[in-house]
Amino acid sequence: MVKKPAGQTHWNPDPLSDINKSDSKDLGFVMKLLRRISRRYSVDLSSIFATGFSNGADMAYGLASYGSDVIAGIAPVSGLMNERNISRTLDNEVGVVSFNGTNDWMRPLRGIEGYLAPTVDTSNYWAQNNNSSLVQSDQFVQESGYLVDRTTFLKADGSSTVQQYIVNGGGHEWFDLNIEGSDLNQLAWSFFSSLAEEGVQSKVHDDNTNMVDIDGDGFVDEITNYQMWISSGGVDLTNRRGRTYSDNSSRKWDAVKAVESDAGFSVLVEGHLSKEGKYKVVSADAEGVIGGATRWLNGNQMLDSGYEESFAMDFNGNGVVDLV
């Protein structure tokens, strides 16, 4: 299955912070998208891969850096990794096959000082993260006369988790390659396919310690049913008979955010169709069992009830989160 979301003006590959110029919550958006896809379709959650071009390639690096529990491999094309992430310690391996040109004026091989890391530093970082210390170099001649240098980083058993392609004379582009009969798309797909055989797969479901809530909506990412996230794992949202809920439970509503409360959890439900623009707040105990719910409320009623402060969301559309 292939999903191709498009950023409106750009992708923000890093979490929001004082030093991040973008206010787009794109890491959370992608994780929420993956969760909703997994609820609606049969998806192998251990083999999720990302690719992109230019800023989209930067986004692929961001997903690998902050979502290694979910992302098994990436194939960035004419992109670079944020240099701040070079020092991050990850819990999981992530396969990386990258493509860059020596004449790229937007994402130069040397990186951008104070912002984006050089390609060689990036490949070395991922090789170290993946315990791939052996290096193999190959060179290929293209019909254009350009030379393509491939550096492969290998584990002790000979398996590869990092490959770097440098196109001599290549610019800021999606490269037209012919490497042993394979174009760029085929090279990336072949690399992804090999990761599963070599055991490089996301570990999001191995145990409770790997449950994540990257998008910050209070629910465990990549779980089919609504499961509130806590530091020790996940808590299913259920009724008194043990029935669980998901985005497929009703066309008229979805649970969109959960926060811990003194009694357990408060869950924000957003209406659709005839309930568009309205919200309901569901109360659940510490075991996730629903004990009650409000009536459907509009944005101003949500504000008056103090829910903008509780959920840190702007319900009445005035551009600020008001405190009651």
Mean pLDDT of 257-265: 93
Nearest Cα to Cα of residue 161 among 88, 54, 72: 72
Q: Convert the pLDDT of each residue in 53-108 to its tens digit.
A: 999 999 999 999 988 888 899 999 999 999 999 989 888 899 999 999 999 999 99
Confidence label for 232 from pLDDT (cuts 50, 70 and 90) = low
Mean pLDDT along residues 5-19: 71
Q: At what angle do helices 55-66 and 26-40 cross, to 10 degrees?
A: 70
Band of the pLDDT at 28, cuts 50, 70, 90?
confident
Tell how many helices (H) and how many strands (E) occur in the chain.
6, 12
Residue with tokens 């008056």: 304
- Per-residue pLDDT band at 204 (split at 50, 70, 90): very low
Mean predicted lDDT score pLDDT of the chain: 87
DSSP lists the bridge partners of residue 163 as 97, 152
Six-digit token string for 137: 């170099």
Q: How far is Cα 212 from Cα 199, in angstroms, rounded to an integer? A: 21
Residue 273, CA atoms < 13 Å, CB-side half-sphere: 5
Over 50: is that where the pLDDT of 206 sits? no
Sign of the C-alpha dihedral, residues 104, 106, 112, 116?
negative
The pLDDT tens digits of the residues spanning 279-320 come to 999 999 998 999 999 999 999 999 999 999 999 999 988 888
Asked if residue 311 lies in contact with residue 292, where contact means CB atoms within 8 angstroms, the answer is no
Q: Residue 224 above 80 pLDDT?
A: no
Higher pLDDT, 255 or 30: 255
> In the structure encoding, which two tokens stand for residue 253, read together?
């509503």
Q: What is the pLDDT of residues 124-145, one digit of tens each?
A: 999 999 999 999 999 999 988 8
Residues sharing a CB contact under 8 Å with residue 19, sequence separation 6 or more, in sequence order = none
Closest CA to 100 of 116, 84, 89: 116
* Structure confidence by residue, pLDDT tens digits, 152-190: 999 988 889 999 999 999 999 999 999 999 999 999 999
The residue with greater pLDDT, 240 or 1, is: 240
Rounded Cα gap, residues 76 and 66, in angstroms: 15
The ranges assigned to domains in the chain are 26-198, 225-311
Say whether 162 sits in a helix, a strand or coil. Answer: strand
Give me the pLDDT at residue 208, please: 46
Q: 269: part of which helix (H) or strand (E)?
A: strand 264-271
Best-predicted range by mean pLDDT (113-117, 206-210, 316-320): 113-117
Quote the pLDDT of residue 198. Answer: 64
pLDDT at 147: 97
Q: How confident is the model at residue 43 (pLDDT cuts 50, 70, 90)?
A: confident
Is 209's pLDDT higher than 70? no
Which sign, positive or negative, has the C-alpha torsion 31, 290, 238, 297? negative
Note the pLDDT tens digit of each residue in 236-258: 999 998 899 998 899 999 999 99
Burial class (CB in 10 A: 0-12, 13-18, 19+), 227: buried
* pLDDT at 9 (0 to 100): 74
| CA–CA distance, 149 with 26 (Å, rounded to integer) | 33
Q: Structure tokens of 261? A: 């409360």
Which is more confidently placed, 13 or 150? 150
pLDDT of residue 207: 44
Q: Which letter, b or e, does each residue of 103-124 get, where b requires 16 or more Cβ atoms within 10 Å of its Cβ?
A: ebeebbeebeeeebbbbeebbb
Pick the CATH number of 26-198 from 2.40.50.140, 3.40.50.1820, 2.60.40.420, 3.40.190.100: 3.40.50.1820
Contacts of 229 (CB under 8 A, 6+ apart): 211, 212, 213, 218, 219, 220, 258
